[in-house]
Amino acid sequence: MKAWVRGAVIAVTAASTVAAFAACGQGAGNDSGGGSGPKIGVLLPDATTARWETQDRPLLERKIKELCDDCTVENANAKGDVALQQAQMNSMITEGVDAVVLVAVDARSLRPAVRKVAEADIPVIAYDRLAQGPISGYVSFDGEEVGRLQGRALLKAMGDTVSGGRIVMMNGDPSDPNAMSFKKGALSVLDGKVEITKAYDTRDWSTEIAHMNMSGAISALGVGNIQGVYAANDGLAAGSVSALKANKVNPLPPVTGQDAELGALRRIVAGEQYMTVYKPFGPEASAGAALAVAAARGESLDRIAKDKVRTSSGNTVPAVLLTPVSVTVDTIKDTVVKDGVHTIQQICTPQLDAACTKAGLT
Ligand code: BGC
């Protein structure tokens, strides 16, 4: 029996009230104040992609507290290190958490760690990335649709240069199953329409490696011979754009992205990046929190998760699958600004004053 449930049962026995027991059994357990309720571990993969620490972490924490005011949250960030995430998962077992929200650094390598956590009777909710092993639930976006949105936007932005146009593909880290889905979706749109002259898989989704790869592509292909860049996320877009600029590529080719990072929105307003894919953080965190709280209380996840996903082990688990949104300069205001992800003030630095006015970001 989990510590917090055990505590609740003892308290109830002392009070001898059946009604109170029913409340604790449902995990309400609020009478013992903060800290005595379920513990939820939130394990994030790295600190290089802005979203995890600036969006997902605070939102998950807030939503968990909203649903369960006596829940406590144990935080960990693996800094892109598989061994560190393994150790963090072991610590979650030792600390006796009641559920884990996991963004796996590397789905396959973390499989034994997921199994160990599940065997300790701790449900694992795979957050954004489909972890391997015996997970209990999953929340994410349709990854192939992300890739299709990026691919379609790139073709649109390339306009007349599509036919015979050469593009460079900056894909994500292959140990992240999402990277494969993004690539697959993008290729389903791009194949046969453009020439993919160079394609890179980028370890750790690293901006620096993307910069290096783009510099290499420019040397190999020549300045002026790249008509478009498929970058799987905004970090890879940042590395690609900085390399294009350092090599004096002018005009810059259209570049895609993902995550609606502040830097990406500024590049979009400045005309240095064509688009980003916005995957609303609020609904994802809400679903992640609801699944984790329900799992920690031993409740069924089917009420929250209407979809299903097949895991690597061939099991089907409850899933929440959300819809990604393509964002260009014309839609920043109606999407990320409207949802309060970033304010116009944050996006529009003094240097972007004129561009922001032109884009209607006032
Ligand atoms: C997420 C992206 C993120 C990338 C790098 C992917 O699994 O879906 O939103 O940009 O990881 O952290």
- The closest-lying atom of ligand 1 relative to the alpha carbon of residue 146 is 8
- Within a domain: residue 10? no
Residues 271 and 183 in one domain: yes
**226 & 354 share domain:** yes
Mark whether 232 and 268 lie in a shared domain. Answer: yes
171's enclosing H/E stretch is strand 166-171
Whole-number Å distance between alpha carbons of 88 and 79: 11
Q: How many CB atoms lie within 10 A of CB 216?
A: 14
CA–centroid distance, 206 to ligand 1, in Å, is 11
Residue 17 counted as domain residue: no
* Residue 17, pLDDT score: 32
Any ligand 1 atom below 6 A from CB of 49: yes
Residue 95 C-alpha to ligand 1 middle, in angstroms? Answer: 28
Degrees, nearest 5: CA angle 106-73-70: 150
269: left (phi over 0), alpha (psi -120 to 50) or beta: alpha
173 Cβ inside 6 Å of ligand 1: no
Ligand 1 pocket: which of 43, 44, 49 to mutate (most atoms within 8 A of CB)? 49
The whole domain housing 131 covers 39-141+280-322
pLDDT of residue 3: 47
Mutate to test the pocket of ligand 1, among 52, 53, 176, 327 (most ligand atoms within 8 A of CB): 176
CA of 314 to the centre of ligand 1 (A): 24
Contacts of 100 (CB under 8 A, 6+ apart): 40, 41, 42, 43, 89, 92, 117, 122, 123, 124, 125, 292
Task: Give the angle 199-202-203 at the CA atoms, nearest 5°.
Answer: 150
The residue whose CA has the least distance to atom 12 of ligand 1 is 49
Kindly state if the Cβ of 98 falls inside 6 Å of ligand 1: no
Give the total number of structural domains in the chain: 2
Q: Quick check: CB of 213 below 6 Å from ligand 1?
A: no
- Ligand 1: which of 56, 59, 178 to mutate, most ligand atoms within 8 Å of CB? 178
Residues 124 and 78 in one domain: yes
pLDDT recorded at residue 24 = 30
Give me ligand 1 centre to Cα 52, in Å: 9
Tell whether 271 and 167 lie within a shared domain. yes
> What contacts 225, CB < 8 A, 6 or more positions away?
166, 197
For ligand 1, say whether the CB of 181 is within 6 Å of any of its atoms. no
Q: How do residues 129-157 score in pLDDT, each as one tens digit?
A: 999 999 999 999 999 999 999 999 999 99
**347 shares a domain with 203:** yes
Do 182 and 258 belong to one domain? yes
Find the 159 Cα to ligand 1 centroid distance in Å: 28
Inside any domain, residue 173: yes
Is residue 228 within a helix (H) or strand (E), and if so which, with residue range? Answer: strand 228-231
- Residue 45 belongs to a domain: yes
Strand pairing report for 316-322 and 307-310? antiparallel
Contact 33, 70 (CB under 8 A): yes
* Residue that is written with structure tokens 């420019």 in the block: 218
Q: Residue 4 domain-assigned? A: no
**pLDDT tens per residue across all 362 residues of the chain:** 454 544 444 333 333 333 332 333 222 233 333 558 999 999 999 999 999 999 999 999 999 999 999 999 999 999 999 999 999 999 999 999 999 999 999 999 999 999 999 999 999 999 999 999 999 999 999 999 999 999 999 999 999 999 989 999 999 999 999 999 999 999 999 999 999 999 999 999 999 999 999 999 999 999 999 999 999 999 999 999 999 999 999 999 999 999 999 999 999 999 999 999 999 999 999 999 999 999 999 999 999 999 999 998 889 999 999 999 999 999 999 999 999 999 999 999 999 999 999 999 99
**185 and 272 belong to one structural domain:** yes
Distance 36 CA to ligand 1 centre (A): 33
91: in domain: yes
Provide the CB-side half-sphere exposure for 275 (13 A, CA): 29
**Does a structural domain hold residue 30?**
no
Q: For the chain, how many residues are written?
A: 362
The CA 226 to ligand 1 mean position distance, Å, reads 25
CATH number at residue 43: 3.40.50.2300
pTM for this one? 0.90
Is 29 among the domain residues? no
User: Is the CB of residue 261 below 6 angstroms from any atom belonging to ligand 1?
Assistant: no
Q: Which residues contact 220 (CB under 8 A, 6 or more apart)?
A: 198
Residue with tokens 């350092």: 246
> What's residue 286's pLDDT?
98
